[in-house]
């Protein structure tokens, strides 16, 4: 499972936080723009599996992951252009195929290689320990899923229910994708929840979450003319998922 965790982390880093709007436009508007995205997948796969590269089997696995990711994304883009839609089912199928391929390729790989520091430095040794720590890798996976994948999934689900009025659809899409003023705070908060859920007693986690829900009802000023409430059901759902993921990781 050690290799699986690292390749999964490389996949979700490249597919979500590093798949920016600019990369997505190049990916969709050029013939083989998808290669820019899948090269990022390959680069992070290499960076996160450096100690494993002494095994030729791992190099083959990385190449197969890269090629399969390229083919799947290319087919997905062609299909999306054809039907002019990116449904929730396509998003989930795409992710399921990527993860299934990684799981199959790493199923029988039980060896665990650790990176060693060439420097006699406490700071570098600390960083190496974090790099080798499987709990940290899995926690990071949980955090990225709760912060990036779940909101994207919710946006897809909600946009599928928008009426077939072009002007109204355009307005509603813009409204839904607006980034809240406190999004960065939310991400760090969910990171805190995911990690703390593994080390704090359940009662403390519940208290933290209740405080967050209460804070959501406090109005805040967006501008001199506009005041809104921070309360948003999607943000509470995302925070709940961050806690849930942390608790699952604690159980594992």
pLDDT tens, 71-125? 999 998 888 778 766 677 888 899 999 999 999 999 888 887 888 877 777 888 8
246: phi then psi, degrees, rounded to nearest 5: -60, -40
* Nearest Cα residue to 65 out of 138, 14, 17, 133: 14
76: phi then psi, degrees, rounded to nearest 5: -65, -45
Q: Taking residues 126-143, report their average pLDDT.
A: 83
Residue 192 above 60 pLDDT? Answer: yes
3-state secondary structure of 229: strand
- Full-model pTM: 0.71
Instruction: Supply the pLDDT for residue 172.
Output: 41
- Tens digit of each residue's pLDDT (9 = 90 or more) over 15-47: 988 888 888 888 878 878 889 999 999 999 999
Instruction: Supply the pLDDT for residue 67.
Output: 96
Instruction: Supply the pLDDT for residue 216.
Output: 59
DSSP label at 217? T
Mean pLDDT lowest for which of 80-89, 118-127, 170-179, 236-245? 170-179
């Amino acid at each position: 499972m050690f290799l699986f965790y690292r390749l999964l982390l490389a996949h979700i880093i490249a597919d979500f936080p590093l798949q920016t709007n600019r990369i997505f436009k190049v990916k969709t508007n050029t013939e083989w723009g998808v290669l820019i995205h899948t090269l990022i997948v390959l680069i992070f796969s290499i960076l996160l599996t450096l100690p494993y590269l002494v095994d030729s089997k791992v190099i083959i696995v990385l190449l197969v992951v890269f090629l399969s990711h390229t083919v799947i994304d290319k087919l997905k883009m062609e299909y999306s252009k054809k039907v002019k839609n990116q449904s929730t089912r396509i998003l989930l199928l795409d992710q399921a195929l990527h993860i299934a391929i990684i799981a199959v390729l790493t199923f029988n790989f039980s060896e665990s290689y650790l990176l060693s520091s060439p420097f006699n430095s406490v700071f570098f040794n600390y960083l190496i320990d974090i790099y080798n720590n499987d709990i940290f890798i899995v926690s990071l996976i949980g955090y990225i899923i709760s912060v990036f994948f779940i909101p994207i999934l919710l946006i897809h689900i909600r946009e599928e229910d928008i009426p077939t009025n072009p002007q109204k659809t355009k307005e509603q899409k813009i409204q839904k994708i607006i980034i809240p003023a406190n999004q960065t705070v939310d991400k760090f908060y969910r990171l805190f929840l995911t990690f703390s859920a593994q080390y704090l007693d359940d009662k403390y986690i519940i208290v933290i979450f209740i405080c967050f829900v209460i804070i959501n009802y406090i109005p805040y000023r967006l501008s001199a003319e506009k005041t809104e409430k921070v309360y948003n059901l999607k943000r509470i759902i995302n925070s709940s998922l961050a806690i849930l993921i942390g608790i699952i990781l604690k159980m594992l």
